[in-house]
């Protein structure tokens, strides 16, 4: 039984290899993949807009951490455990958002 299975797997592997060679031959030349380039005159403006967006998100992230800390303190001193717990639960989301903004250029570069 095992010998038949091994034979079938070998035959299948040879057939697949032949199909792949045929598919590559029919595919033709590779698709061009040029590097990204900004239109003339827009590079500076695009960098400015991206910088403003990144700065805005970072300011909002700092504000989110300050608000969460304040809500945790108020919840603790007023014995509102649910308010403090909700505020503590929002901190990882703020940090995740800030991390995503900080790593955004690197993440996009991986896919280019």
Tell me the per-residue pLDDT of 54-111, one tens digit each, with 9 for 90 and over: 999 999 999 999 999 999 999 988 888 888 899 999 999 999 999 998 888 888 888 8
29-51 pLDDT tens trace = 777 777 778 888 888 888 899 99
Q: Which two tokens stand for residue 5?
A: 């299975």
User: Considering the entire predicted model, what is its pTM?
Assistant: 0.59
Measured CA to CA, the distance from residue 58 to residue 46 in angstroms comes to 18
Q: Is residue 13 part of a domain?
A: no
Measured CA to CA, the distance from residue 35 to residue 41 in angstroms comes to 17
Q: Is residue 68 part of a domain?
A: yes
Q: Which residue has the higher pLDDT, 92 or 18?
A: 92
Number of domains, the chain: 1
For the cut 70, the answer to whether the pLDDT of residue 8 exceeds it is no
Q: Which two tokens stand for residue 110?
A: 């991986």
| CA-to-CA separations, 3 to 11, 12, 105, in angstroms, rounded | 12, 14, 53
Alpha carbon of residue 41 to chain centroid: 29
Instruction: Note the pLDDT of residue 66.
Output: 95
User: Could you tell me the residue range of the domain that residue 76 belongs to?
Assistant: 45-111
């Amino acid at each position: 039984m095992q010998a038949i299975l091994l034979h079938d797997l070998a035959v299948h592997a040879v057939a697949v290899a032949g199909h792949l060679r045929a598919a590559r031959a029919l595919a033709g030349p590779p698709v061009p993949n040029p590097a990204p380039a900004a239109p003339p005159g827009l590079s500076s403006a695009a960098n400015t807009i991206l910088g403003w967006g990144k700065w805005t998100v970072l300011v909002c992230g700092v504000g989110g951490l300050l608000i969460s800390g304040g809500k945790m303190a108020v919840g603790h001193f007023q014995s509102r455990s649910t308010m403090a717990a909700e505020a503590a639960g929002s901190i990882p989301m703020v940090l995740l958002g800030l991390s995503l903004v900080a790593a955004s250029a690197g993440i996009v570069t991986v896919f280019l």
